[in-house]
Amino acid sequence: MVNAPHPVAAGLPAGVTDVYGRQAPMSWGKPGLGATTIATVYGQPDKAAIFAYEKGATMDYEALAPARRVMFFLDNDTFVNLSPAGLALFDAAIDWAAGRR
């Protein structure tokens, strides 16, 4: 967790957070200029595992976010493996993107 104060961080402290109950693949991305990075892959600060865009923020190239957007690290079949901290992050990401946080 690199941006603990952000609402998508679910109140978790900065530092290492176990988001899976057991080892699993983790998606990551390269945020655009207007993104806020919330979490990175452990030991790889250039690989953002969770990042977010406010409405109107610059995403890729000249594309602007039409509404809030969140990139979240899940693969197609890893949701069932989320730890309690991972579930809290997922809920916080959904709530923030929907404007409830």
Question: What are all long-range contacts of 63-68, with beta carbons under 8 Å and residues at least 24 apart?
Answer: 63/32, 64/34, 65/34, 67/97, 68/96, 68/97, 68/98, 68/99
Residue 10 lies in a domain: no
Site of tokens 């990075």: 37
Total domains in the chain come to 1
Domain assignment present for 26? yes
Q: Is residue 48 part of a domain?
A: yes
**Structural domain contains residue 7:** no
pTM equals 0.94
The answer on pLDDT for 66 being more than 90 is: yes
Note down the domain range covering 50.
Answer: 17-97
In a domain, 5, yes or no: no
- The reported pLDDT for the residue numbered 54 is 98
Say what the pLDDT of residue 60 is: 86
| Residue 3 belongs to a domain | no
